[in-house]
A and B are shown apart, each in its own frame.
Chain A
Amino acid sequence: NAGVTQTPKFQVLKTGQSMTLQCAQDMNHNSMYWYRQDPGMGLRLIYYSASEGTTDKGEVPNGYNVSRLNKREFSLRLESAAPSQTSVYFCAADRDGNSPLHFGNGTRLTVT
């Protein structure tokens, strides 16, 4: 039982490149989330998916897109990376939107 798994763990991109961050959960949870964490700051919500087939914007959605591929998987796409998107990205899942979040170990992204 791995919980929430994120790939890749590390990534370096050049400005303008695109990439997709992958997230999968094996807890059969309904809700999934993408957060970003910058130095000295708490986590900020980028997008979330309350249930399979739905996605909604969080606090900082600009420059990102998401896909809830199925109940297990929720991906985050950067279409044209910018240095301001250098951050640590965390995927999380919870049972129903009002229970504790279970986090993956993050993807550390650097955009040069």
Chain B
Amino acid sequence: GESVGLHLPTLSVQEGDNSIINCAYSNSASDYFIWYKQESGKGPQFIIDIRSNMDKRQGQRVTVLLNKTVKHLSLQIAATQPGDSAVYFCAETLYNFNKFYFGSGTKLNVKP
């Protein structure tokens, strides 16, 4: 099977609870951030993005928060479902720079 997920931080939540996944990014000059979801055996899938001129952005059941002061990004998932079980990555880049840098990921395990 897919080896992605070994030695990753793991967050276990109960189905229906809210999940918060955190990410510390490295470059204070980064101005565009994306959260990706990766299921076993598949490529990363876009969830939500945010630019540095915002500190919060909401999607369907997901919210991304950006704190530039401490270089911190978080992904909140409301009413977590078993289908949300996956590895979640944050990525940062400089606008127009063509180079996204990815964090090492957090594994979300949703218990029924």
B105 close to A98 (CB less than 8 A): no
Interface stretch (choices B13-21, B38-46, B58-66, B76-84):
B38-46
A53 to B87, CA, bound (A): 34
Which residues of A have CB within 8 Å of B96?
Answer: 97-98
Let me know if A105 and B6 touch, CB within 8 A.
Answer: no
A109 close to chain B: CB less than 8 A: no
Count of B interface residues, CB-CB < 8 Å: 30
For B1-14 the 0/1 string (1 means CB < 8 A from A) is 01111111000000
The docked-state distance in angstroms from the alpha carbon of A12 to that of B49 is 36
Q: Is the CB of B100 within 8 A of A101?
A: yes
Are B42 and A105 closer than 8 Å at their CB atoms? yes
The 8 Å CB contact of B104, one of A35, A40, A45, A105, is A40
- With A37-B4, A40-B6 known as contacts, the answer to whether A105 contacts B98 (CB < 8 A) is no
Closest residue on chain B to residue A90 by CB atoms? B43
Interface residue tally on A, bucketed by range: 20 to 34
Q: Is the CB of A88 within 8 A of B4?
A: yes
What's the minimum C-beta distance from B2 to chain A, rounded to whole angstroms? 8
A83-112 at interface with B (beta carbon < 8 Å)? 88, 90, 92, 97-98, 100-106
Chain B residues within CB distance 8 Å of chain A: 2-8, 32, 34, 41-46, 49, 89, 91, 93, 95-105
Give 6 new A-B contacts, CB below 8 A, not counting A97-B98, A98-B97, A105-B41.
A4-B43, A35-B102, A42-B91, A42-B105, A97-B96, A101-B91
